[in-house]
Amino acid sequence: MYFFEDPKFGETMITLMAAFVLVLQIAMLAQRYLLTNIKAFAAQSFLLACIANTIAYFNDAPHIYVAAFLTLLLKAIILPILMARLVREIGIRKEIEPLVNAPISILIAGGLTMVGYVVAESFYRPETATGAATLGHNTLSVAISLFLIGFFTMINRRKALTQVLALLTLENGLFLAAISLTYGMPLVVELGVFFDVLVATMVLGILVYRIRATFDSMDVSKLRRLRG
């Protein structure tokens, strides 16, 4: 058996890629440049696609290959290109001061990561199966951390575009949990989820552009002016 066919090698690679996914999530929280955040999201989605591809390879699961390909195509290529183009069109490249500054945000992200590990530990059960059947099961803590940090980012940031990115990274956490624990949902459900994400992002992109045109800013707090 070649070393790259050993499930232990696959487990190591998945753990390493999941760690980089979490690092990128925290880096996005501390980063204020929109284009840099978009690139970090693209890299995160690429790593998630690689995780899904690794699980599919060791478990001979063709439908996970489809999920990996859609993640790579939509979330690592198409959506980042569309969002980067939107940033160039609106001419705003840097996030305004968030509600919580970067150092404290990173500390909060560290706390949320600890919460993710504590919650994941409560779901841990001694594995009865071994080898490829357990690949990725140890990434639930990372998936929960992605979800929590993405939710915090949505609250902490005031620009609509960064809130869209936070929503997408939150969905990345859900995707990682589904792929790692259940080895994917039924294919028709996965296709529906990806289509919903694509449509929602396009709608939110249009909304961002309209907010920029109306208020000359992407600060969503300015929407309070609409109260009568």
Q: What percent of the chain shows pLDDT beyond 90?
A: 17
Cβ-based neighbour number of residue 94 at 10 Å = 12
pLDDT of residue 2: 56
Weakest mean pLDDT among 48-57, 128-137, 140-149: 128-137
Among 161, 25, 199, residue whose Cα is nearest residue 83: 161
Distance CA 28, CA 132 (A): 32
Distance CA 191, CA 212 (A): 32
Handedness of CA 30, 33, 35, 36 (dihedral sign): negative
- Asked if residue 13 lies in contact with residue 52, where contact means CB atoms within 8 angstroms, the answer is no
- SS3 state of residue 219: strand
Q: Which of the pair, 29 or 186, is modelled with greater confidence?
A: 29
- SS3 state of residue 1: coil
How many residues are recorded in the chain? 228
What residue ranges do the domains of the chain occupy?
3-226
Tell the burial category of 145 from Cβ atoms under 10 Å away from its Cβ (0-12, 13-18, 19+): buried
Predicted confidence (pLDDT) per residue in 162-182, tens digit: 878 888 888 888 888 888 776
Cβ-based neighbour number of residue 203 at 10 Å = 11
Distance CA 45, CA 36 (A): 14
